[in-house]
């Protein structure tokens, strides 16, 4: 089939079987996330560490955390049951690049057992530049970076601290370092022709207007898609925003912002912010059929 008018043919070639990037593929190809990366190196105001990271997954749900060995058993079991499985992603529940040893161990083993599965990961970007060469060597062909600002001043309203180079940074320094690392990682991936999607969490009153500028910058640096996700406001998380809490955008506000952004954004309107342990075709989640207690003990 032909691709959307706003995608270059060589990009379409890479995404047409990827259920997240192609509206059409999401009816025929399945994806799964394995929650092997619980550690995170930054603090987002909207995050509660008990739940999944909002980098990719639906925040506010608890996914079953797995060791790399458990993840491999699970992927093999799913691949046996779900023939449409084409994509394996690591989307937290923390940060796939910070918790790198587990991400790497999982992908390396899976690539040996199921060589044709597509690998993707999502990250906040802080540790990303340290791993881009390995990402390229490992044939990871899609990376999602969550970028909520390109102005560190705006970042101070989103990130109270980061952990970088063996110490904690706060305030403007934290956001400046995070911003520089995100831009560096994005450019390094684009230079290696690895597809980069940028996710932004829309936080009313904090970065909503600013996301127009984020869109312009990330597109100019080579992101092939920019996906706006609504902040999912839940009294149980996001308490760092203060006692009054922070509301998420209304559906109309989200749509109005998406309409103002450039073309490619349209493609991702079907993103479901799947759980960090989602399994199956998009819109379906068979994760509960493949919990650890239901898996065979050994990889066959
Ligand atoms: Fe695809 Fe979005 Fe779900 Fe990831 S979270 S598997 S990009 S639909
Ligand atoms: Fe939480 Fe994800 Fe932010 Fe880390 S990057 S603080 S896990 S939302």
Give pLDDT tens digits for 166-209: 999 999 999 999 999 999 999 999 999 999 999 999 999 999 99
pLDDT at 82: 87
Average pLDDT, the chain: 84
- Report the C-alpha gap between 226 and 85 in whole angstroms: 25
279 C-beta closer than 6 A to ligand 1:
no
pLDDT at 240 over 60: no
Residue nearest atom 8 in ligand 1 by C-alpha distance: 271
Ligand 1 binding pocket mutation candidate from 31, 195, 200 (most atoms within 8 A of CB): 31
Quickly state the pLDDT bin for 103 (edges 50, 70, 90).
very high
Other CB atoms within a 10 A radius of the CB of residue 250 amount to 11
CA dihedral 5, 6, 11, 15 (to 10 degrees): -80
Domains of the chain listed by start with CATH number: 20-288 (3.20.20.70)
Element housing 189 (H / E):
helix 171-191
Ligand nearest to the CA of 91: 1
Closest CA to 31 of 200, 144, 130: 144
- Any residues with Cβ below 6 Å from ligand 2, and which? 40, 42-44, 47, 53-55, 92, 94-95, 124
274 C-beta closer than 6 A to ligand 1:
yes
pLDDT at 286: 77
pLDDT at 55 over 70: no
Quickly state the pLDDT bin for 16 (edges 50, 70, 90).
confident
- Report the C-alpha gap between 267 and 124 in whole angstroms: 22
Residue nearest atom 2 in ligand 2 by C-alpha distance: 53
Residue nearest atom 7 in ligand 1 by C-alpha distance: 20
C-alpha 23 – ligand 2 centre gap (Å): 27
Residue whose token pair is 């970042």: 155
pLDDT at 265: 57
Query: Contact 21/279 with Cβ under 8 angstroms?
Result: no
pLDDT at 106: 95
Is this model's pTM higher than 0.80 or not? yes
pLDDT at 173: 98
ipTM above 0.90, yes or no: no
* Residue 19 or residue 211, greater confidence: 211
pLDDT at 121 over 60: yes
Query: Contact 46/237 with Cβ under 8 angstroms?
Result: yes
* Residue 148 or residue 55, greater confidence: 148
- Report the C-alpha gap between 43 and 63 in whole angstroms: 19
Radius of gyration of the chain (CA): 18
Query: What are the φ and ψ backbone dihedral angles of 88, each rounded to 5 degrees?
Result: -115, 125
Q: Where are the beta strands (DSSP E) in the chain?
A: 30-33, 42-43, 85-90, 118-123, 140-146, 161-164, 167-170, 195-202, 225-230, 279-281
pLDDT at 68: 93
Ligand nearest to the CA of 159: 2
273 C-beta closer than 6 A to ligand 1:
yes
Ligand nearest to the CA of 273: 1
pLDDT at 127 over 80: yes
Query: Contact 267/225 with Cβ under 8 angstroms?
Result: yes
Residue nearest atom 1 in ligand 1 by C-alpha distance: 20
Ligand nearest to the CA of 99: 2
Ligand 1 atom closest to Cα of residue 282: 8
Ligand 1 binding pocket mutation candidate from 21, 91, 269 (most atoms within 8 A of CB): 91
pLDDT at 244: 52
CA dihedral 292, 294, 296, 298 (to 10 degrees): 10
* Residue 40 or residue 237, greater confidence: 40
pLDDT at 157: 94
253-300: per-residue pLDDT in tens? 998 998 888 665 555 666 666 777 777 776 667 777 777 777 776 644
Other CB atoms within a 10 A radius of the CB of residue 115 amount to 8
Kindly state the average pLDDT of the residues 213-227.
Answer: 93
Work out the widest C-alpha separation in the chain, in whole angstroms: 52
Kindly state the average pLDDT of the residues 244-255.
Answer: 84
C-alpha 145 – ligand 2 centre gap (Å): 12
Kindly state the average pLDDT of the residues 224-249.
Answer: 70
pLDDT at 114 over 80: yes
């Amino acid at each position: 089939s032909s691709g959307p008018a706003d995608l270059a043919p060589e990009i379409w070639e890479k995404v047409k079987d990827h259920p997240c990037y192609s509206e059409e593929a999401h009816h025929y190809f399945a994806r799964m996330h394995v929650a092997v990366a619980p550690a995170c190196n930054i603090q987002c105001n909207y995050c509660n560490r008990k739940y999944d990271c909002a980098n990719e997954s639906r925040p506010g749900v608890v996914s079953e955390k797995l060791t790399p060995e458990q993840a491999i058993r699970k992927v093999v079991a799913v691949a046996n049951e779900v023939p449409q499985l084409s994509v394996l992603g690591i989307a937290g529940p923390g940060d796939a690049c910070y918790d790198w040893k587990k991400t790497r161990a999982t992908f390396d083993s899976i690539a040996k057992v199921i060589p044709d599965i597509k690998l993707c990961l999502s990250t906040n970007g802080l540790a990303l530049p340290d791993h881009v060469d390995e990402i390229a060597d490992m044939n990871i062909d899609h990376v999602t970076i969550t970028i909520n600002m390109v102005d560190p001043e705006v970042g101070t309203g989103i990130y109270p601290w980061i952990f970088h180079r063996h110490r904690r940074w706060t305030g403007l320094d934290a956001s400046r370092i995070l911003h520089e690392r995100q831009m560096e990682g994005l450019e390094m991936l684009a230079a290696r022709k690895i597809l980069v999607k940028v996710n932004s969490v829309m936080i009313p009153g904090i970065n909503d207007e600013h996301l127009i500028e984020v869109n312009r910058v990330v597109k100019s640096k080579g992101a092939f898609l920019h996906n706006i996700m609504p902040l999912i406001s839940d009294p149980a998380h996001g308490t760092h925003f203060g006692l009054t809490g922070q509301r998420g955008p209304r559906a109309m506000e989200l749509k109005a912002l998406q309409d103002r952004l450039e073309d490619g954004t349209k493609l991702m309107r079907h993103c479901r912010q799947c759980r960090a342990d989602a399994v199956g075709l998009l819109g379906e989640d068979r994760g509960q059929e493949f919990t650890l207690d239901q898996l065979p003990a050994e990889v066959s």
